[in-house]
Amino acid sequence: MNLRYIELEYQPTPSQVLRACRDLSWPVLLESARYHAQRGRYSYFSAEPVKRWILDKVEFGDDPFLEFRSAIQEFETSPLPQLPPFQGGLIGLLGYELGHCWERLPEVARDDFCTPAVAVGLYDWLICWDHLLNKTWLLVHEDPSQLINRPGLEQRLAQINVLIDPDEMAGEEVKLTQANHCFTSNVESSVTEQKYLEAVQKVIEYIRAGDIYQANLSRKLQYQFEGTSHQLYDAVCHSNPAPFAAYFKPAEEWAMISASPEQFLQVENRHVITRPIKGTRPRWDAQDTDLMQGLALQAAEKDRAENTMIVDLMRNDLSKVCKLGSVNVPRWCELESFEKVHHLVSEVTGELNDDADIWDLLAATFPGGSITGAPKIRAMEIISELEQTARGHYCGSLFAAGFDGSLQSSILIRTLILKNGSVQCPVGGGIVADSIPENEYTETEHKAAGLLVSKNSSG
C-alpha cells in the first residue's frame, strides 16, 4: 500500500468535519478536545472503512483478535515522520463484557441497550489535525495493484471538498452558537440511592472479609435526548472537554459519545504506557477553593491507597507481556485537573516482549484495572453480582491500532450511548475499605456533571 497525503488549505475543526460528514457510513472522530502537548495534540476523523466487524460475545472464539492481526499485516505500512503518528488502521470499540473471552465470569441478569461487544472498522484514509502546529492533512492509502477498489487521494479530496464547504461550515457554526445546551432533569437511575449505598456497603464487607482490596461499582443513568448524535457530542464536549473525546457511529440506531480523560494503553516502537485514574474531587468556580480541593485530593490517604492498588495491578498485567525488569512507575498519584473534576493519575510503563504484539497486550490487560478492582477477576465477579446489568461499552475501550503496530486507546468512562432517542450514561467509582457510601454516591453525581444534557435550539 502507498500512503499519500495533502495538507488542507482550509482548516475545518474536528467538530465541523463530523457534522459535514455525518451521513457517511461508520463515522469516527478521535478528538483531543482538551489540548495537551503530550497527551492531547492530535485529532483524527474517518468513515467508510474497508472492512467492518460487529461481534456479540458468543462469536468471540478462542482469539477475538485473530482477524485483526491478519488485517493489519495485509496493510502494513511504515509511518511518515512529518505526519501525526496514527496514519490509518483499525479503530473500534471493545465492550466491557469482552473480558468473558479470557475468564470465566458470571453472566449478568440483563442488557438494557444490547449493543455489540465488538465494533471495529479498518480505515484506510484520515483527516488528521496537529493542534500544536495548527495543521490539517488528508491521508489516503492507495493500492497500486488496484485489487482493492477504493477512492484514491484525488477522489477522496474531491469528496471532502464537496462536504466541507467553508461558507456552509460558517453557517453551521452560527447555528451551533445559537443552540442552548442545558442540564436535563429527566434522568432515571438503574438503582435508587438507597440501593447504591447498600451495594457500596456490600463491597466494603467483601473487602473486610478478605475477598478483594477494591472494586469499581457503577450505576446507570438514562434520559431522553431530542437531538442528533453529533449534536449530543457537541454538547458534551463543550461542557466536558477531554483529551480522549470520541464519537463513533457504526449503526444507524446507535452511537457512542465519549468525554474520557483516561488513557488505557499506548504503544509506540514497542514502548507501552498506561495511565490509570483513581481519586476524584469536584472542581469549584472560586479559584482558591478549587486549589484547596486539588491539594486535599493529593493528600487524601484513601484516594492515594486506591490509586496505588490499581498501579500494582497494572504493573502485574503489563509484566505478563513485557520484558523482565522493564515495568516501571515513572509517575505516581499526580494531580490532573479537568473541566469538572480533579483526578489522581499515575503512569506505568514497559517494553513489549519480542514475541508479543499489541493484541497480546490487550488480552493481558483487558478490561482495565482502574474500572474493575483488585484482585481483578474476583472484583469482576462481585461487580456482576451487584450491578446486575451488562456494562456494554462503558468501562470498555476505544482503540486505534496503526498499520505500523502502534496502539492508542482510552478507558470508556464519561461515555454515553445514544440509541433511538435514549441516552445511557453510567457513572461509578472505586470502593475501598474506608469508603463512606454516601460520599461514593456523591462522587458519581460529580462525574455525571456535564454529561446530562438536553438540547433546545433556536436555529
Could you say which of 48, 142, 220, 278 is catalytic? 278
- Is 195 known to be catalytic? no
Q: Which residues pair with 219 in a beta bridge?
A: 427
* Nearest of 224, 211, 207, 127 to residue 431 by alpha carbon: 207
Peptide bond into 261 cis (omega under 30): no
Q: What is the helix (H) or strand (E) element at residue 221, kind and residue range?
A: strand 214-224
Q: For residue 143, how many other CB atoms are within 10 A of its CB?
A: 15
Per the CB < 8 A criterion, the answer to whether 405 and 414 are in contact is no
- Is 262 known to be catalytic? yes
Alpha helices in 300-401 (DSSP H): 301-319, 358-365, 376-387
Which amino acid appears at position 2 of this protein? N
Contacts of 97 (CB under 8 A, 6+ apart): 57, 117, 390, 391, 392
Per the CB < 8 A criterion, the answer to whether 43 and 32 are in contact is yes
Could you say which of 142, 262, 306, 443 is catalytic? 262
Task: Please report the beta strands in 261-367, taking only residues with DSSP state E, as ranges in sequence order.
Answer: 263-268, 271-274, 277-282, 328-337, 341-351
Which amino acid appears at position 166 of this protein? P
Distances (CA, A) of 343 to 244, 295, 309: 15, 11, 16
Q: What is the helix (H) or strand (E) element at residue 446, kind and residue range?
A: helix 437-448
Residues with a catalytic annotation lie at 262, 278
